[in-house]
Amino acid sequence: MEIEDVVAKRGLPSWEDADTGINDVIIKHLLENSKSAIFGAVELHNKPVFPCRYEIAIILTINAWELAMKAYILKYLPEHKLLDEDGKSRPFDKCISLIERQIGKDFLPVKESVENLYKYRCDIIHYYGTGIEAILYSLLRPNILFFSDFFKKFFDIDLAEEANLIILPIGFKRIISPLDFLSEKSVDGNEFVKALIDNIKKSAQNLIDNGFEDGLVCNYSMYIEKEHKIAHADIIVGVTQDNEKAAFNVGFNKKMRLTNDASAQAIRLDEESVFRDYFNMTYTFFLDRAKKEIEGFKMGGKKFNDILNKIKKDENCFRKRCLDINPRPKSIYKPYYSELALDRLKEEYKTTT
């Protein structure tokens, strides 16, 4: 069955312009219906009281994507038919795979996002009462943004101009609690929830392996402060040095700033680590870096000496290491500079040129 036959059978209206092809007629209606579906998803999600909020919002979102992808295929890949001989439409997974081959690697974050929502939609009955709204919100929010970008890039339609809709995380309780992600209580005994979470993890790892650091779920910032009374803590975290046993591995930025502030966090540093990790540039290496990274840099002269003396006065930039195991008054010291010293040098040359 040809698509023209379907159009005639359903009595779809055509463009007033007689030169417009039948594909343009179908694309127009696919996009209009797709917009209606995505607007409905956002509007229903934002209603203060609405049963089955995420089930219906995600069903509408997937429907919007299916229509938008078929419009894309008709516009950019017209040689691929949307209908089989029996009149059935091209399956969802085949549409997304076809578009991925056409667009390439840049479509990967969109593909992973859509497929995770599609998995939820297909198995939706198994998630009732599992309390995974926080996870669904984290998937849905970036997906809506992907959809808006898709419309803008490939159809030159700015959804933000047509409807001032946003996903509002506002209500009578916190919509997201970090406990929802750190606790395993919500997934115990439900293999479908575990499978969904595992699928999200695999998608995230696939994106990282392909050079995409984020985009699959919402990003959240966290401030951590030690609380001695457990009853007052929002989150209870156990810390271990065993990476194999840890649920999450946390890395720390090695930049530091030395201070005389008595209220500052106390840490213990041995001399070896201080000069290995922080003050690890000799004077020669420091100058070599400066020549490569600072345009117009010249060593020597009043300007250079004034800046260098200022840097040496900052204990976060400059340190001397004694070459004797047991320092004496006449011991030889070797100067070392930190990465911060190079940053300060760059700033000084930028402001004085």
Are 170 and 279 within one domain?
no
Residue where a domain stops, chosen among 188, 209, 230: 209
Q: Are 175 and 53 in contact (CB under 8 A)?
A: no
d(CA 112, CA 217): 10
Phi, then psi, of 58 in degrees rounded to 5: -75, -35
Q: Which residue has the tokens 């976060």?
A: 316
Asked if the model's pLDDT at residue 250 lies above 60, the reply is no
User: How confident is the model over 90-126, as pLDDT tens digits?
Assistant: 899 999 999 999 999 999 999 999 999 999 898 887 7
Residue where a domain stops, chosen among 189, 209, 229: 209
Are 203 and 281 within one domain?
no
What is the total count of domains within the chain? 2
* Phi-psi domain of 304 (left: phi exceeds 0; alpha: psi -120 through 50; beta: other): alpha
Q: Read off the pLDDT of each residue in 248-267 and give the average, rounded to a whole number.
A: 60
Residue 173, pLDDT score: 56
Share of the chain above pLDDT 90, in %: 27
Are 185 and 275 within one domain?
no
Specify the 3-state DSSP secondary structure of 238.
coil
Are 198 and 333 within one domain?
no
Q: Read off the pLDDT of each residue in 260-279 and give the average, rounded to a whole number.
A: 71
The CA–CA distances, whole Å, from 214 to 108, 136, 147, 179, 220 equal 12, 16, 16, 21, 11
Better-scored residue on pLDDT, 238 or 143:
143
d(CA 336, CA 319): 5
Give per-residue burial for 272-287: e unless 16+ CB within 10 Å, then b. Answer: eebbeebbebeeeebb
User: How confident is the model over 123-132, as pLDDT tens digits?
Assistant: 887 776 667 7
Out of 20-24, 109-113, 316-320, pick the least confident: 20-24
Q: Read off the pLDDT of each residue in 259-277 and give the average, rounded to a whole number.
A: 69
Amino acid found at 136: L
Please report whether residue 251 resides in a domain: no
Specify the 3-state DSSP secondary structure of 331.
coil
d(CA 15, CA 1): 22
Asked if the model's pLDDT at residue 13 lies above 80, the reply is no
Please report whether residue 265 resides in a domain: no
Are 86 and 12 within one domain?
yes
pLDDT band at 1 (very low <50, low <70, confident <90, very high): very low
Please report whether residue 37 resides in a domain: yes
Instruction: Give pTM, 2 decimals.
Output: 0.56
pLDDT band at 246 (very low <50, low <70, confident <90, very high): low
Residue 7, pLDDT score: 47
d(CA 213, CA 228): 34
Residue 76, pLDDT score: 94
User: How confident is the model over 157-207, as pLDDT tens digits?
Assistant: 999 888 776 655 545 555 554 444 444 444 455 777 778 878 888 888 888
Please report whether residue 244 resides in a domain: no
Are 202 and 276 within one domain?
no
User: How confident is the model over 37-94, as pLDDT tens digits?
Assistant: 999 999 998 888 888 888 999 999 999 999 999 999 999 999 998 887 777 888 999 9
Asked if the model's pLDDT at residue 16 lies above 50, the reply is no
Please report whether residue 247 resides in a domain: no
Are 44 and 182 within one domain?
yes
Better-scored residue on pLDDT, 4 or 217:
217
Quote the Cα angle for 180-181-184, to 5°.
80
Q: Are 339 and 346 in contact (CB under 8 A)?
A: no
Please report whether residue 11 resides in a domain: yes
Q: Domain range for residue 172?
A: 3-209
Please report whether residue 231 resides in a domain: no
Mean pLDDT of the chain: 78
Please report whether residue 254 resides in a domain: no
User: How confident is the model over 284-311, as pLDDT tens digits?
Assistant: 889 989 888 888 788 778 888 888 999 9
Contacts of 6 (CB under 8 A, 6+ apart): 83, 87
